[in-house]
Structure 1
């Protein structure tokens, strides 16, 4: 992950090499999720990696949360396209158009894709007293307990939500 952050930071620096006055003001990275979460952590690491190559630039993290990341995303979509307000989002950008009827922006035209920062593996975790100890045992246990199982995730449209739906579909529950 750190190599990707450094590569992106260097790419950003290289893209503005001819515009020596950049940055002339604070750069804001909007994270459309709560402070302290995984996306926020990645944004803070990215900001730190960008500071030195950008000559000690001031880079702030703005956690503008709500509506499956659409509020923070809209903030960036409506900002001046001058490189001073960036958005750090994840799978929500791909799932939003299918979840929200009246989005105030267009995911495919209102943003310039800069690159992927990191990849996040998904894990399945349970309480230690769950009788299933292997995936095969878990599938059997789920079949025996239909309608009694709760699955927690990061929210509608999140990677963990979509993975849960894929498992549900695969198990036909």
Structure 2
């Protein structure tokens, strides 16, 4: 594998967690990593709370769209180096065949879009999800990928996925 590494974040709806992860990866990856996101059953639009949070954090959200994971299995799609599921339902689904056999791991987090109640409660759930993803992505981006064998890399990615 050589940089830049293409990283796909998967979730069922591709409206919240995976969108946040894509944005964070593109910032924290500093050109070494290129983040993408997709869903098995995309909702059709990013969650407004996700977009609002990203804008407050200084992200340009023009990239954000809810898209099918089929885009990344189609001819001409970027060659994926890593695939992370960020929701339990996407992890349980049978994924498409990813050319090149990317390294994968499950980084499941509760769905902030499922939180009910006040807008403040929803915004807090999105902020907690953002912080967790940011920590995990920073840890991932700091890995010495070129010096790790495949088994060690897979183990480290699984460890990162258990980080709260």
The TM-score range, normalised by the shorter chain, is 0.3 to 0.5
Higher RCO, 1 or 2 (CA under 8 Å, sep at least 6)? 2
Q: Which has the higher strand share?
A: 2
TM, length-normalised to structure 2: 0.33
Q: Which has the higher helix share?
A: 2
TM, length-normalised to structure 1: 0.32
